[in-house]
Structures are given as C-alpha cells and as structure tokens.
C-alpha cells in the first residue's frame, strides 16, 4: 500500500485534485478515481463524466477532470506514459505548478525539493527566516538558505503547524512552542 501511495502518477494526480480542496476530501476522491484507473492510459479510457463523479466533491471537479485528462494525454504523448522526474519537465504539463512539481519530485521520486504552499510561505516569513512576497520567491529563498537535508520534511512540518497553530489570522501564539524565538513578522493580532 505504501508503495502505491508513492507512485509518481498517483502523487501527481492526487496533488492536482488537492489544489483548493481539504485533505479529508482529496484522499477519498483520489482513491475512488484510482479504483477506476491508475495509469494514464486507463484514465484516458474514462469518460469525463466518470472522472467527475469519482472525484466529486473536490473543488472545481469539472475543471480538474479536464486537467487530469490533459495531463494523462501529455504523459502518453510526450513522456511515454511516465511521470517525469524533474521539476522543469513537470512544469511543462498544463495545470502543474511549482508546488505540485516539487511534491511529485520529493514524494514520488525521493529527490530533494521544497514544496511551498501558503503555510510554508506565511510561516517562513512570519519567523523572519525569509522575506518574500510570493510562494515562488519563498521556494527560491529557502533553497538558498535551508540545508538540503531538511527540504523534504519542511513542508510537512509547517503545513501541520500552519493548520493548527500558526493560523493566517489570529495565530495561537500563546500556546506556540516557538513563541520565544519567533519575531511574529506581520502578526497584528494573536490569541
């Protein structure tokens, strides 16, 4: 089971489903879809409406069904049905951004990368570790500053922290384990 979860194709598709969707919705939707098709070729044999039904209620499920089919078509036509193992190649797939490309490279291929989502961007700046305006700038700043051995785990650590303590509005600074070390850059209100 763990091997299937690390399959680059599954990582890519699940990540595309997860965009603007909560984890508790994404996981079951991905499993329903993979029960129907777990390769690019098998996915292309599905009708768009079948994909939509399988992935509902993920956000933008109709658009995502079209994106998934486009990615699968691209994988077959340009990459012999295989998910590419470099960020640059992944970025050529329509619908794949830097966060998704980094996630596929790190989780699917066990290569170094830094997945920067809103949590990683916000917390890295709030801690004063980087001073950036966008997640992409944060990724580049973190690549220059953070030791490579911490790249893969950095996202997991900060996402959970950002969902539970270091919230976007009114973070829970009073119970934060690193509050004495945190300059709280940009924090105007906390609890």
pLDDT, tens only, 24-40 = 999 999 999 999 999 99
Q: What percent of the chain has pLDDT over 70?
A: 97
> What mean pLDDT is predicted for residues 125-148?
96
Would the pLDDT of 101 be above 90? yes
| Same domain? 69 vs 99 | yes
- Structural domain of 41: 2-109
Among 72, 90, 109, give the residue marking a domain's end. 109
Q: Is residue 181 part of a domain?
A: no
| Same domain? 130 vs 93 | no
What domain count does the chain have?
2
| Same domain? 149 vs 72 | no
Would the pLDDT of 4 be above 70? no
Q: Which long-range contacts (CB under 8 A, 24 or more apart) does 54-59 make?
A: 54/29, 55/17, 55/29, 55/30, 56/29, 57/25, 57/29, 58/17, 58/18, 58/21, 58/25, 58/26, 58/29, 59/19, 59/20, 59/21
| Same domain? 95 vs 44 | yes
Tokens of 73: 């078509």
pLDDT in tens, 105-116: 999 999 999 999
| Same domain? 123 vs 103 | no
pLDDT the model gives residue 36? 98
Of the candidates 111, 110, 133, which has an alpha carbon nearest to the alpha carbon of residue 121? Answer: 133
Of the candidates 77, 85, 121, which has an alpha carbon nearest to the alpha carbon of residue 103? Answer: 85
What secondary structure, in 3-state letters, does 122-149 show? Answer: HHHHHCCCCCCCCHHHHHHHHHHHCCHH
| Same domain? 74 vs 12 | yes
Among 79, 109, 139, give the residue marking a domain's end. 109
Q: Is residue 15 part of a domain?
A: yes
Q: Binning pLDDT at 50, 70 and 90, where does residue 2 land?
A: very low
Q: Which of 19-23, 151-155, 171-175 holds the top average pLDDT?
A: 171-175
Q: Is residue 191 part of a domain?
A: no
In this structure, are residues 65 and 51 in contact, taking their beta carbons and an 8 Å threshold? yes
In this structure, are residues 29 and 56 in contact, taking their beta carbons and an 8 Å threshold? yes
Domain with residue 41: its CATH number is 1.10.340.30
User: 3-state DSSP call for residue 110?
Assistant: coil
Q: Binning pLDDT at 50, 70 and 90, where does residue 5 land?
A: low
Q: Is residue 186 part of a domain?
A: no
pLDDT the model gives residue 74? 98
pLDDT in tens, 50-84: 999 999 999 999 999 999 999 999 999 999 999 99
Would the pLDDT of 154 be above 90? yes
Q: Is residue 70 part of a domain?
A: yes
Q: Is residue 185 part of a domain?
A: no
User: 3-state DSSP call for residue 152?
Assistant: helix
DSSP one-letter code for 73: H
The reported pTM is 0.87
User: 3-state DSSP call for residue 180?
Assistant: coil
With a CB cutoff of 8 Å and minimum separation 6, the contacts of 187 are: 126, 171, 173
Q: Is residue 162 part of a domain?
A: yes
| Same domain? 48 vs 124 | no
Tokens of 187: 């924090």
| Same domain? 97 vs 138 | no
Residues marked as catalytic = 99, 117
> What mean pLDDT is predicted for residues 85-105?
96
Q: Binning pLDDT at 50, 70 and 90, where does residue 20 land?
A: confident
Would the pLDDT of 120 be above 60? yes
| Same domain? 131 vs 57 | no
Q: Is residue 69 part of a domain?
A: yes
């Amino acid at each position: 089971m763990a091997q299937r979860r690390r399959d680059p194709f599954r990582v890519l598709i699940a990540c595309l489903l997860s965009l603007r969707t909560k984890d508790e919705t994404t996981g079951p939707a991905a499993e329903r879809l993979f029960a129907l098709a777990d390769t690019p070729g098998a996915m292309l044999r599905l009708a768009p409406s079948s994909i939509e039904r399988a992935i509902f209620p993920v956000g933008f499920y109709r658009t995502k069904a079209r994106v998934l089919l486009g990615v699968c078509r691209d994988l077959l036509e340009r990459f012999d049905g295989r998910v590419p193992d470099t960020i640059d190649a992944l970025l050529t797939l329509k619908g794949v951004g830097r966060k998704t490309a980094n996630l596929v490279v790190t989780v699917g291929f066990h290569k170094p990368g830094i997945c920067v989502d809103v949590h990683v961007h916000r917390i890295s700046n709030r801690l004063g570790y980087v001073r950036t305006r966008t997640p992409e700038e944060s990724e580049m700043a973190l690549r220059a500053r953070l030791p490579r051995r911490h790249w893969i785990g950095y996202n997991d650590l900060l996402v959970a922290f950002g969902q539970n303590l270091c919230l976007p509005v009114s973070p829970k600074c009073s119970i934060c384990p690193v509050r004495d070390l945190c300059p709280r850059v940009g924090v105007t209100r906390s609890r």
